[in-house]
Amino acid sequence: MMSQDVCQAIRNLLQRMGIPFDEIEHPPVGTCGESLGFRGQAGWSGASSKCILLKAKGKYYLLVTTAEKEIKARLFKKEFGTKDIRFANRDELMEVTGCDPGSVPPFGHRDPALPFYVDEGILEAEFFMFNPAVPTKSLRIATSDLRRIVAAVPNPVSVFGEDESGRFVIRKVEKSA
């Protein structure tokens, strides 16, 4: 599946679920920071996504966080059952997601078994902004609609963040029937 196909799958999902979205075109981006800059120029605000593909014990996991946040892969060692966790390389990223670095979307991937881990900080924003697999486009949806999407996609989805004591925690998302 190529990036245009992933983008169309995202559009189809949003339309099927009746989720309104805003879209902008911008010069090609290679980083989350570049995307954030163009989104700001468009007057958009909200949580700007950074999607990271991790590999552990031969499996891939997609982490969805904010552009500003630094992710420490070691926090997921208990969840993934190993200390041997690494960021996927460019070839693996292309193979698993069909996307270039900087344009990996938070959903719409061809693999319905790819586990997603969503940063709870995203869910506190009013809007969620992301590249729909195409480095020249950005979409914006209401975060309440992102909650509906993660409950509806076939992928296993968890939310990560901190508990009331400040410890790292992972919570499973209840799925729609």
In a domain, 177, yes or no: no
In a domain, 96, yes or no: yes
Can you tell me the distance from the alpha carbon of 25 to that of 169, in angstroms, rounded to the nearest whole number?
A: 36
Residues with Cβ < 8 Å from 70, sequence gap 6 or more? none
Can you tell me the distance from the alpha carbon of 102 to that of 31, in angstroms, rounded to the nearest whole number?
A: 4
pLDDT per residue rounded down to tens, the chain (177 residues):
577 788 998 999 999 999 999 999 999 888 888 888 899 999 999 999 999 999 999 999 999 999 888 888 888 988 998 989 999 999 999 889 888 888 899 998 888 899 999 999 999 999 999 999 998 999 999 999 999 998 989 999 999 998 888 888 998 887 765
Q: What's the pTM?
A: 0.90
Number of domains in the chain: 1
User: What does the block give as tokens for 127?
Assistant: 């809007």
In a domain, 22, yes or no: yes
| Contact assessment for residue 105 and residue 6, using Cβ atoms and an 8 Å cutoff | yes
In a domain, 40, yes or no: yes
Residue 19's domain comprises: 3-172
In a domain, 85, yes or no: yes
